[in-house]
Amino acid sequence: MLWPRFTKGALMVFRRDFLSWVKYYRSSVLLNFGEPLTNLLALGFGLGAYVTKMSGDPFVDFIGPGLLAVTAMNAVTFDMSFEAYDRLNENGLYLSMITAPLHPAEIVGGEYLWEACRSLLYGLVFLVVLLPLGIVHSWWALLLPLPLLVTGMLFAGPALWVATTAKNHEQLFYYFTLVITPMFMFSGVFFPLTHLPPIIRDFILLTPLVHVVNLTRALILGQFPATLWQDVLWIVGYTLLFMVLPGRRLARRLMD
Amino acid sequence: MTTNPPTPQRPAAAPGASAPMAFLSMAPGAAIAVAAKGLTKHFGNFEAVGGIDFDVYEGECFGLLGPNGAGKSTTIRMICCLTGRTAGSLSVLGIPAEPGQRAIKSQLGVVSQEDYLDPALTVRENIEIHGRFYGLSPQVASERAAELLEFMQLDGKAGQQVRALSGGMRRRLVIARALMGRPRLLVLDEPTTGLDPQARILVWRKVRELKAQGVTVLLTTHYMDEAQRLCDRLVVIDHGHILEAGRPRELIERLVGRECLECPDLDAAAAEQLAAALSPEDEAWHEWQGDSWVLFSPNLARILDRWVAAAIAPPLSYRRPAGLEDVFLRLTGRELRD
């Protein structure tokens, strides 16, 4: 357990990530939008022609807000797994940072700040895609930046922990295959959890993405279920819990 | 090697005997940049550094020489506050060295063995952001970056991506980056490995210029000519222990003498014949350096005359000044290291 440090040094790590992103944003935006956009169009309008209503909403309205949450999660997870793995193991970026007077906890802090912004950025652009499709039904959507920022931090921690633990790129794929993809499929993005067997539903409620999906859907559709406060609590709790995961490990990898 | 070389005969004085103590008292009163006493580092059961003592004086260039796996890099990592020690004491710029010690790290410039550069950023951005890591303001970072790119002769490359740089340019950029924090102590871990001769000469010149500006330099290298050129004093370490310490010239004269006779491509039988013709008064010893048989003695002229008279002089041989490489091979042996 090592808390990230949000210092001036962390801000410079953030700055470095931003400078690097500016160079690559064209290809990286395409990578992060291609998939959810395809899902939205193919499933929302293709499958949506047959599945007209989902929990009382048009199918595309139902999956749009969920895909927004997924977009934010993926944007962060890709960066903090593959990119962070390379920064640690391939191009020595983290090592050169700690030879300058930065502490590993400041590196983690800087990466979290950047991932929060990344999540915000990619989430908002996806929101802009949803607007002309008539999926955004509520002014509450203006509050989305807040959950998006938190979501970035939430998913950055576990991914960075995986990056500091993995021995090669293949092991990073396991994280996607075993964790990210199942979460994507079963977190109420495509169908509500109400008809699942209770034991499976309870298990899903222990994972983080479902709560983010519930929250983004509530804000975009303007429908607030009575249990929404629980989702908020889960999100905040997981964010704090995951935040301390990678620091110690990164420190050990860099300063054995 | 096709022949089985004879065991080199060595002079009586055992390497390392009481030399470090004499060495410590060489410059009394000089300010000490790095002081290591009984410095020890274990990784599990493996002893990487086994209790070494040395002082680095401010303003000098100090060499840390040794074969691969000798403990150089671990020592460097402890000095750079990148790893803790198991025992002993270590102070850097008057501050006790602990992992992550910012008060030390902010006064240090580190050139690591690998050219770790940020592939996403340009040449200028790479060193500017590093300056920002040191806490410099944007203006100071930008001014200093321009100044250092010029100093390392990279000013024409400022806007390029680092991928486009040659090996020599990458190295120069890493050195420029290490200078962004205006370090009092510059740590160069094999700074010229893999560089062409022109690039090496440039690096040497820059190290001398930095020294002239008062920067203390700690250098590790596998190139003995480099150590001989740059280092004011040095230690040779192997298996985590200091074998010898001193000034390059003094080490050479004390351990291998002023000059030697090198006989390239000599066969083992001929070498045995030559060795048999030596007498104790010659104060000679010899060893194989690759395929060359090398004879060290203060009485080379006399020995050569005798060989000529006996008609056993080797067909090809040349006298040359003894160097640090001879010292190094004598101290650390001929076995290949991993």
Q: What is the DSSP letter of B19?
A: H
Q: How distant is the Cα of B81 from the closest Cα of chain A, in angstroms?
A: 8
User: Per the structure block, which two tokens stand in for A65?
Assistant: 């807000």
Report H helices in chain A: 8-39, 59-78, 84-89, 93-99, 104-130, 145-165, 169-175, 181-186, 198-205, 209-221, 228-243, 245-254
The region of weakest confidence among A51-55, A200-204, B100-104, B176-180 is: A51-55
B338: confidence class by pLDDT, cuts 50, 70, 90: low
Backbone angles phi, psi at A226, to 5 degrees: -65, -20
pLDDT per residue as tens digits for the range B276-333: 888 899 899 999 988 899 999 999 999 999 999 988 888 899 999 999 999 998 888 8
User: Per the structure block, which two tokens stand in for B176?
Assistant: 């420029």
User: Per the structure block, which two tokens stand in for A33?
Assistant: 């939008």
Q: How distant is the Cα of B49 from the closest Cα of chain A, in angstroms?
A: 15
B336: confidence class by pLDDT, cuts 50, 70, 90: low
Q: How distant is the Cα of A116 from the closest Cα of chain B, in angstroms?
A: 20
CA A243/CA A230 separation, integer angstroms: 20
Q: Per the CB < 8 Å rule, is B114 touching A92? A: yes
Q: Can you give the pLDDT at residue B14?
A: 41
* Chain A CB within 8 Å of residue B183 CB: no
Residue to substitute from A21, A96, A248, interface B, most B β-carbons within 10 A: A96
In this predicted structure, the answer to whether residue B102 has a pLDDT above a threshold of 60 is: yes
Contacts of B181 in chain A (CB under 8 A): 100-101
Q: Can you give the pLDDT at residue B332?
A: 86
* Chain B CB within 8 Å of residue A16 CB: yes
In this predicted structure, the answer to whether residue A96 has a pLDDT above a threshold of 80 is: yes
Angle at B117 between CA B114 and CA B119, to 5 degrees: 130
Backbone angles phi, psi at A53, to 5 degrees: -125, 140
Q: Per the CB < 8 Å rule, is A24 touching B120? A: yes
Q: Can you give the pLDDT at residue B333?
A: 80
DSSP bridge pairs for B40? B50, B87
Which one, of A34, A112, A39, lies nearest residue A79 by Cα? A112
Asked whether B338 and B68 are in contact (CB, 8 A), the reply is yes
Output the CA torsion A177→A181→A183→A187 (10° steps). -160
Pairing, β B241-246 against β B233-238: antiparallel
Per-residue pLDDT averaged across A20-46, rounded? 80
In this predicted structure, the answer to whether residue B7 has a pLDDT above a threshold of 60 is: no
The region of weakest confidence among A46-50, B223-227, B321-325 is: A46-50
Asked whether B234 and B248 are in contact (CB, 8 A), the reply is yes
The count of C-alpha atoms lying within 13 angstroms of the C-alpha of B84, restricted to the half-sphere facing its C-beta, is: 6
Q: How many other CB atoms sit within 10 Å of the CB of residue B80?
A: 25
Per-residue pLDDT averaged across B253-272, rounded? 91
Which of B105, B120, B135 is closest, CB to CB, to A20?
B120
B335: confidence class by pLDDT, cuts 50, 70, 90: low
B18: confidence class by pLDDT, cuts 50, 70, 90: very low
* Chain B CB within 8 Å of residue A210 CB: no
Contacts of B117 in chain A (CB under 8 A): 91, 96
Contacts of A92 in chain B (CB under 8 A): 112, 114, 116
* Percent above pLDDT 90 for chain B: 72
In this predicted structure, the answer to whether residue A24 has a pLDDT above a threshold of 80 is: yes
End-to-end, the C-alpha distance of chain B in Å comes to 18
Q: Can you give the pLDDT at residue B251?
A: 94
pLDDT per residue as tens digits for the range B43-97: 999 999 999 999 999 999 999 999 888 999 999 999 999 999 999 999 999 999 9
Q: Can you give the pLDDT at residue A150?
A: 97
Backbone angles phi, psi at B184, to 5 degrees: -80, -30
Q: Per the CB < 8 Å rule, is B102 touching A96? A: no
Instruction: Give one DSSP letter per residue of A63-91, joined into a string.
Output: HHHHHHHHHHHHHHHHIIIIIHHHHHHTS
In this predicted structure, the answer to whether residue B11 has a pLDDT above a threshold of 90 is: no
Residue to substitute from B74, B83, B95, B116, interface A, most A β-carbons within 10 A: B116
Asked whether B328 and B223 are in contact (CB, 8 A), the reply is no
The average confidence (pLDDT) of chain A is: 93
pLDDT per residue as tens digits for the range B162-180: 999 999 999 999 999 999 9
Nearest CA in chain A to B83: A255
pLDDT per residue as tens digits for the range A116-131: 999 999 999 899 889 9
User: Per the structure block, which two tokens stand in for A139?
Assistant: 């002014």
Q: What is the pTM of this model?
A: 0.88
Asked whether B166 and B194 are in contact (CB, 8 A), the reply is no
